[in-house]
Amino acid sequence: MMELRPYQEAAVAAVYQHLSERDDNPCVVIPTGGGKGVIVGRLCADVVQRWNGRILVLTHVKELVDQNATQAGRFLTHLLVGVNSAGLRRRDLDHPVIVAGIQSVYQKACDLGRFDIVLIDEAHLIPPDGEGMYQTFLRDARALNPRLRVIGLTATPFRLKDGSICAPEHILNHVCYEVGVKELIRDGFLSPLVSKAGKAKADTNGLHVRGGEFIPDEVEHLMDDDGLVRAACAEIAEQTRSRKACLIFAAGVQHAEHVSATLASAVGAEVACIFGHTPDGERDRMVAQFKKGDLRYLVNVGVLTTGFDAPQVDCVALLRPTMSPGLYYQMVGRGFRLAPGKDDCLVLDFGGNVLRHGPVDALAIKDPNERDGGAAPAKECPQCQAVIAAGFAACPQCGFVFPPPEREKHEREASAAGVLSGQVTTADHQVRAVFYAIHQKRGAPPETPKTLRVEYEVGIGQVHKEWVCFEHVGYARGKAEAWWRARSRDPVPATAAEACSLASDGALAATTQITVRSVAGEDFERIIGHQIGPIPVPRQPGEDRDEPMPQFASASSLDDEPPF
């Protein structure tokens, strides 16, 4: 039997433990590209061979039906695996394993007969209530077997309008096993993702929302602006010179055709389009060319988000904004799979999706009953371009005051925000001026140790800060002493007030450049390097220094929270 990866074995074991210890229905969460199909095959084989049972695998697109049937056949003989899918032109009814499209069987539970297990792939598509196809089928299937158990598999255990797919009143009730994107990348089972800043991004401020998602016609009208299309295609052409397979998500048919023509001109190569109405034969031909490497650029409109397995995809371009964290995840997830010669997958986001939803391995999913009007988990300061937590009323880097939420606008420049939490970027900045102040933590008692706040102005209104802890003890005090000795020959001050006074009197060497480190998913940037000028000669008693006194802020500040 085929050997499973450790996390796949753990997932299967968790399913069995749940089924034996609880009376409700479990769900397994595995990232896109993490091998859910192998888990499907193993579960099918166990149900048939270990327990002499019968299992139905349900999903919603023919590609996944075909993939799951293939996986089941790798663990069992194909004679035991039937397929029921109109798209695949098969109507099998009596095999121990049936892999089916829900559209083909939701009214035919009695024809298919009794099952012990129903396994639902892409389980986030199950409606939590109402007369949906899954609900209709399961109601009839339980009439044949009241002890029927349901297992869910998904990469995104939530729905845009309804929140978590697992709840006591839903079909699926409990996540029995979950492994994250970051863990699988770390362990070498998924491809790393990298993101690049762009030169053009749509302003989605004017878009309206219906049913929890941007209105499609408005999105296409916004994204199909000729200037935006040209700028985005120019950047895609520039960024993908060394990429082998670029998958592009467009906002509509007209937009896709516009992008295809413009990009083909920019790259001097064929760019193909796939739509929902593309004939099956033509679609299969283009996908085959793309997978073989004969076609580098493939544009689609909402048809290659799930069930599309092309491991060589090493660039995903998001030319559409979405309010759905699940759709955002599914689009980016097309680049998760490993392939020979593939080092990583580049994500180019022209719709503000990374800022809107956060890093793809740490999506900010809220309970729909607790939503606050659609506030983003991150935002970009229009003054200094810092990516910060959405809760800030003022930018902690430069002090820019954000307008009220209902007037807040998305910036017109694509974000460089990390598409994976923990993704690190560094940048060097020339320092224009340095300011000093005594900092006291907001709400702290008067006896709480104060710090020296140092602000480096690197552009008009753009400031980076650090805090030096002269009044602390241990490691923090040691760092403060080293910081001071690198800049001054004066004795290390004992208090923040003394340090501020000496700094204002020219005791410190000038800082000419700083290196700033940003980590996606974290609220604060950190200064990790300095270039420092000559250290001043200590002043003799009664002697003025030659260096001009630097500017410094007020002696105390209660408005900034230090990042430690």
The long-range contacts involving 269-272, CB below 8 angstroms and separated by at least 24 positions, are 269/296, 269/297, 270/295, 270/297, 271/297, 271/298, 271/299, 272/297, 272/298, 272/299
Note the pLDDT tens digit of each residue in 447-506: 889 999 999 888 655 788 899 999 998 888 899 999 999 999 999 999 999 999 898 888
202 and 351 in contact (C-beta within 8 Å)?
Answer: yes
- Cα dist. 361→176, 181, 332, 349 in Å? 19, 5, 11, 16
Note the pLDDT tens digit of each residue in 297-324: 999 998 888 778 899 999 999 999 998 8
Q: Which band of pLDDT confidence, cut at 50, 70 and 90, is reported for residue 553?
A: very low
Average of per-residue pLDDT across 335-360: 88
**Burial tier of 104 (Cβ tally within 10 Å: 0-12, 13-18, 19+):** buried
Strand partners, 100: 58, 84
Least Cα distance to 152 among 14, 48, 302 occurs for: 14
Q: What is the pLDDT of residue 391?
A: 52
Least Cα distance to 432 among 453, 452, 455 occurs for: 455
Q: What is the pLDDT of residue 412?
A: 37
**Hey, CA dihedral for 433, 437, 443, 447, is it positive or negative?**
positive
**What distance in Å separates the CA atoms of residue 475 and residue 298, rounded to the nearest whole number?**
54
Treating both helix axes as pointing N-terminal to C-terminal, what angle do 36-45 and 62-75 enclose, rounded to 10 degrees? 50
CA angle 339, 521, 299 (to 5 degrees): 45
Query: CA 7 from chain center: how many Å?
Result: 21
Least confident of 88-92, 359-363, 451-455, 494-498: 359-363
Please report which residue ranges of 427-553 form alpha helices under DSSP H: 475-485, 496-504
Query: How many CB atoms are located within 10 Å of the residue 485 CB?
Result: 13
CATH code at 6-179: 3.40.50.300
* CA atoms within 13 A of residue 297's CA, in its CB half-sphere: 25
pLDDT above 70 covers a percentage of the chain that reads 81
Strand partners, 99: 57, 83
**What distance in Å separates the CA atoms of residue 197 and residue 518, rounded to the nearest whole number?**
14
Q: What is the pLDDT of residue 324?
A: 86
- End-to-end Cα distance, the chain: 51
154 and 124 in contact (C-beta within 8 Å)?
Answer: yes
The one-character DSSP state at 406 is G
Q: What is the pLDDT of residue 380?
A: 55
151 and 120 in contact (C-beta within 8 Å)?
Answer: yes
15 and 119 in contact (C-beta within 8 Å)?
Answer: no
96 and 131 in contact (C-beta within 8 Å)?
Answer: no
- DSSP string for residues in 194-261: EE---S----GGG--EETTEE-HHHHHHHHT-HHHHHHHHHHHHHHTTT-S-EEEE-SSHHHHHHHHH
Whether the pLDDT of residue 249 is over 90: the answer is yes
**Paired tokens of 29:** 């969460």
Least confident of 166-175, 310-319, 360-369, 545-554: 545-554
The one-character DSSP state at 49 is I
Note the pLDDT tens digit of each residue in 374-428: 444 555 555 533 444 455 556 554 556 666 554 333 333 445 566 666 667 788 8
Three-state SS at 462 = strand
The one-character DSSP state at 173 is -
371 and 268 in contact (C-beta within 8 Å)?
Answer: no
Question: Under CATH, what is the fold of the domain 193-422?
Answer: Rossmann fold (3.40.50)
The answer to whether 6-179 and 193-422 have equal CATH topology is: yes
Q: What is the pLDDT of residue 374?
A: 43
467 and 441 in contact (C-beta within 8 Å)?
Answer: no
Q: What pTM did the predictor assign? A: 0.65
What are the residue boundaries of the structural domains of the chain, listed by start?
Answer: 6-179, 193-422, 426-532
Q: What is the pLDDT of residue 448?
A: 87
The radius of gyration of the chain from alpha carbons, rounded to an integer in Å, stands at 29
* 3-state secondary structure labels for all residues of 338-350: CCCCCCCEEEEEC
**What distance in Å separates the CA atoms of residue 13 and residue 23, rounded to the nearest whole number?**
16
Least Cα distance to 441 among 426, 455, 451 occurs for: 451
Q: How much is the mean pLDDT over the chain?
A: 83
Least Cα distance to 14 among 50, 72, 6, 35 occurs for: 6
